[in-house]
Amino acid sequence: MSTATIVNFLKQSDIFYQFTPTQLELVANICQEAIYQKDDLVFKENSSSKELYIIVQGEVDIAVDPSLVGTMEDGIENKVIATMRRGQSFGEVALVDEGLRSASACAAQNDTRLLIIPRDKLIMLCDTYPQLGYRLMYNLAADLAMKMRNTDLRIREQLLYATKPKK
């Protein structure tokens, strides 16, 4: 994928909202591309985290292992909690804390194309170009806030519609 193609794609991604053409080109230059087939693991829950991912084509399921919280539902290994689509990013918490992955990511379709942005190179860009860094962190915070609000809504719906015990 050419730098110009990556720049055009990044322009459409929420986390690069209001980036200048020069800033988009700087980010495009550190992107790597990877192609995954259906059910290929992108990363596993509790593994180390050092990259941000953006979906160019296809879908990625984000899943958690229910046994980690002491419940095993009918032998289901992982429970899909979100499906990410074209233009969406995932793995962004790695940019902030380098902690362990809080979920697994797995390709949900054949020929799922991802842009992979290494944390160390992106942080170096942010340090070198503070305006780029500010805009990226602002956009990431907005993206994470939206994801948290959606999760909160899902939890509330589950609590609201959960079957109440009969008296």
pLDDT tens sequence across 115-165: 999 999 999 999 999 999 999 999 999 988 988 898 888 888 878 887 656
Q: What SS3 class is residue 41?
A: strand
Rounded to the nearest 10 degrees, what angle do helices 119-128 and 130-161 cross at? 130
Query: Domain segments of the chain: what residues?
Result: 3-161
Residue 72 has pLDDT above 80, yes or no: no
* 8 Å CB contact between 53 and 90: yes
Name the CATH superfamily housing domain 3-161: Jelly Rolls (2.60.120.10)
pTM of the model: 0.84
- The two tokens of residue 54 are 């953006």
